Structure 1
């Protein structure tokens, strides 16, 4: 049985359950490949409808980015609303944004309805700026409330610095409807409920080959052959070669997270709120308090390098101390990384590749709400309940550019870092 990687979330698992390997010949209506939050959300919705569902996970449920991310749940996508409007027009962009808001409510409702207390939801996410937006941030707030009913509170420089005791921040927006939580415990709870509703979940059961052309799809693991009418692939940054069109369409991007030692007084000297922070920099950080406000979970930095650098902790700690000099004595207890899937257009990839073959992936950069709505609309499509998944059709399986695409993505990130530095210097 494979283990979860060492991180804050694996150290604080609420329950011990695991699932067997797939063995023998298995027949099902729908086979879901990938046990992250999108696959688990789809499995639960389909199982509740009485469909026969098999979910195959190569490692453990929520083992990848789904279970070791920052744990932020807020509306939006990895790309901005104006970019979406430019591609699909204001009406469809508005529908897509409302879907992202629905995704937040799906997660919130699952936590409440299933009694997932171990998800430990905490309200409030602050978007913090390191420069004076000269009124633009207030305009954004006003527009989001007017067009979508999304209420956010503006924070002046004094207000934001009272919450986050750093000389870096100039203003902010707090979304009190957004929240942060324990994504691994949440994902495992979805798996438990899916199994209770009749879904068959198999861990350590990676797909090694697939025949997806005929009316009945055949997938093989090391110990099983699964025959299904429909297949849904939700494998994210760990997608293998069973669906080449999907693997060629996104870039696996690594991001990094650290957990500090337990030091409540030192932590309190820097962060005086339970709200989480999304740094507005395009190459910025995200962080929040955990363990009752006694530790900091700090994430940031992205790279196309998909192996763990030895200096993960040092890189992130430098960012943390650069923001909060008073934390120079705060030690790092553990650091980890995870692979996200990013499409070049920075939107989720959700749709039907061919009859009976579906995909739901590319949630990098804003995964919690988008995995929830992605798993929901694709399950509706498979079940014939709606065609809302077609709203994502303009953001298809564009080629990722191969090696050149990775190089371009890394150069883009470095350019963001440089632009951030220039803007901060001018604001200082």
Structure 2
């Protein structure tokens, strides 16, 4: 029971290991899954005075929650126009405002709990790989009018002044968003849950469940939890414990690598502390870490994890294709993580039946949407609001199983080809 070898593991400031469940525990709410969604839900319930138990199959933040790109910015895996087509304009606006609230929640949690080792750094840049400044300017103005949210347009000269690549044209900079060390953030949240009386058990995968009746029962290999409420937050690592939940999303692998220490070489290409993502579907995302000494670079998606050697080769090809001057930058670490994607590309958040809740399928936008997801599930359990119902149009729709995985991979390849042609035509 250990973390995969990642940059986040090597720079994790809290190595505490928690016990496995043994015997019987009783609580108001049981959370199955110790990632971003589960711990946020548990934190809000514990703050309200509920007794909570968290069951984690591995260790807190083991999955994609603790080894992602670290970007915290508003929005979902699909756009607001598509959300509006399904849920209506008013719901789309409210959902986007909730995603902004999620960003604020993470920032405020870092400040309130003094999670200094999360090392939040302001600024996200979304860059175009073809000429289209007019559309970006219109987007900036639309965002200001619809949500009162200020973005900053960057023209090509300004973009290339800090990103030394001829692949990039215009950009939008979001100074209210930020990036951080996700594993240290999670472990800080876990400490606060325990300080408030919550119990977290690691190495305790749920094996069988009984969700009938007023008191739910979840059994592990050596123990059992009895609770009035159960919340499933297992994401891309969901097994067959709950068939309907597992069938409702696809596990999608994404990849990250971290360079050797080479601050001067990295600065020859990237002269900003902002995190950067491009406008392609499953495009590159990267940021300098370790006070500018290393480069963390992520991207690519597949429907099953590739070998480390393959992922390093593909990510390096992307990096060097964007920044030829980094050809000599060596890779020190590489890893993959499983995200969960629903067919509609929206989070799945809600109540399955009395006392049974779910909060999953964040599609690569977990650091803000897990926050708001956990918050609204907690509000629903506490009877404080029914905001979770905004997600009802995006329910537990069957994702297609093996056929769905094949379609997802083919769709990704199609989008890659479209991106390639669009850039060549620019």
Unaligned runs of 5+ in 2: none
Quote how far apart the aligned CAs of 1:402 are: 1.0
Once residues 373 and 411 of structure 2 are traced to their aligned partners in structure 1, the CA distance between those partners, rounded to angstroms, is: 27
8 Å CA contact 1:4, 1:63 repeated in 2 = yes
Matches within 5 A, 1:172-187: 172-187=171-186
Q: CA deviation at 1:26?
A: 1.1
Counterparts of 2:287 and 2:308, CA distance in 1: 23
- How far off is 1:308 after superposition? 3.9
Asked whether the 8 Å contact 1:349–1:359 carries over to 2, the reply is yes
Q: Which moved more, 1:257-266 or 1:302-311?
A: 302-311
In 1, Cα distance between the equivalents of 2:20 and 2:281? 41
TM-score computed with the length of structure 2 as normaliser: 0.99
Q: Does 1:82 align with 2:81?
A: yes
Q: Which residue of 2 aligns with 1:133?
A: 132
CA distance in 1, matches of 2:201, 2:306: 27
State the distance in 2 between where 1:280 and 1:243 align.
35
Q: Secondary structure at the match of 1:135?
A: helix
**Preserved contact between residue 33 and residue 55 of structure 1 (Cα < 8 Å):** yes
Q: How does 1:38-57 map to 2 (within 5 A)?
A: 38-57=37-56
What CA deviation, in whole Å up to 9, does each residue of 1:258-290 have, x standing for no partner? 000100110000000000101111131100000
Q: Which residue pairs with 1:298 in the alignment?
A: 297
Question: Is the counterpart of residue 64 in structure 1 residue 63 in structure 2?
Answer: yes
The residue that corresponds to 2:157 in the other structure is 158
- Note the 1:13-412 alignment, pairs <5 A: 13-306=12-305, 308=307, 310-412=309-411
Cα deviation, 1:207-257, whole Å, max 9, x if unaligned, reads 011111222111111110111111000000001122111000000000000
Counterpart contact for 1:283–1:420, Cα < 8 Å: no
1:424 aligns to what?
423
What secondary structure is seen at the aligned counterpart in 1 of 2:345? coil
Aligned partner of residue 58 in structure 1, secondary structure: coil
**1:311 Cα deviation (Å)?**
1.2
The 1-side partners of 2:418 and 2:149 are apart by 29
Q: Is the Cα contact below 8 Å between 1:351 and 1:360 reproduced in 2?
A: yes
Deviation at 1:306, TM superposition (A): 3.5
Whether the aligned pair in 1 keeps the contact of 2:71 and 2:367 (CA below 8 Å) is yes
Distance 1:120 1:254 in 2: 26
Task: Identify the range of structure 1 (277-286 vs 54-63) with the bigger mean alpha-carbon deviation.
Answer: 277-286
CA displacement 1:312-365 (0-9 Å, x = unmatched): 111101100000000000000010000000001000000011111100000122
How far did residue 134 of structure 1 move? 4.7
| DSSP 3-state at the match of 1:405 | helix
The 2-side partners of 1:302 and 1:105 are apart by: 28
Structure 1 residue ranges without an equivalent (≥5): none
**Separation (CA, whole Å) in 2 of partners of 1:245 and 1:344:** 14
Q: Which moved more, 1:211-220 or 1:268-277?
A: 211-220
CA distance in 2 between partners of 1:48 and 1:251 (Å): 33
1:184 is displaced (CA, Å) by 0.2
* SS at structure 2 position matched to 1:404: helix
Contact 1:230 1:356 in 2 (8 A): yes
Equivalent pair of 2:281/2:415 in contact (CA under 8 Å): yes
Compute the displacement of 1:403 (Å): 1.1
- TM-score, normalised via structure 1 length: 0.98
Asked whether the 8 Å contact 2:133–2:170 carries over to 1, the reply is no
- Contact conserved, 1:308 with 1:337, CA < 8 A, in 2? no
Calculate the aligned-residue CA RMSD, in Å: 0.8
- Secondary structure of the equivalent of 1:252? strand
* SS of the residue 1:85 aligns to: helix
Instruction: Name the CA distance, whole Å, in 1 between partners of 2:251 and 2:99.
Output: 22
Query: Could you tell me how far apart the structure 1 residues matched to 2:281 and 2:349 are?
Result: 25
Separation in 2, partners of 1:6, 1:111: 25
The question of whether the paired residues in 2 share the 8 Å contact of 1:31 and 1:232 is answered with yes
Determine if contact 1:211/1:217 at 8 Å carries over to the other structure. yes
Deviation above 2 Å: which 4+ runs of structure 1?
306-310
CA contact (8 A) 1:252 1:306 kept: no
